[in-house]
Amino acid sequence: MAVTAATAAWIAVGASTLGTAASIQQQRKGEKANRRAAALQRRQAELQNMRERRKAMAEARREAAAVRATTANLGVGGSSAAEGAIGSIRSQVAERVGFAGQMEGFGSAINQQQQRAATAGTNAAIYSAVGQLPSQLGMGGFSDIIDTPTPPPTSGGGGFLV
């Protein structure tokens, strides 16, 4: 059984369309995987931040207890100096926890921008595939639509007509 030119053309159209559709589907899957990875990275950063906060709070409690014990042994427990030292410890912990929160926020913002970039790349690839579909189907492009004038013939005289 011979394959006619029309049948071959329809097979080519089908294969091209299928290839484009498969490409789009795979790009979407990749985008989805990137979103999942970004969510996991955010969660990882949150857990790390919580751990750092707990660690800082525990350290501050130990330091404050040491200051209280020392000042009590010296007989100056509850003095303004002792309370000032404990206040300083609390202030330092608050600064560390605040900084960790800021870093978590930056990490989240970076992940969002990376996700937007990945989405834009995926969309660009999809639009490119769709844009190439007519030429893949043998429909040509703008060169088939626009009639470009051919330059006049020249003789061998350096480009000038003789």
- Cβ(71)–Cβ(84) below 8 Å: no
The whole-angstrom separation of Cα 53 and Cα 45 is: 12
pLDDT in the model for residue 48: 87
What's the rounded mean pLDDT across residues 14-26? 77
Least confident of 1-15, 100-114, 146-160: 146-160
- The pLDDT, as a whole number, for residue 146 is 54
Per the document, the length of the chain is: 162
pLDDT tens digit sequence for 30-66: 888 888 888 888 888 888 888 988 998 899 899 889 9
Where do the structural domains in the chain lie, given as residue ranges?
5-139
User: What is the C-alpha to C-alpha distance for residues 105 and 85, in angstroms, rounded to an integer?
Assistant: 30
Block residue for tokens 């990137």: 34
Q: What is the pLDDT of residue 138?
A: 65
Task: Compare 58 and 20 and report the one with higher pLDDT.
Answer: 58
User: Average pLDDT, whole number, for the chain?
Assistant: 78
3-state class (DSSP) for residue 136: helix
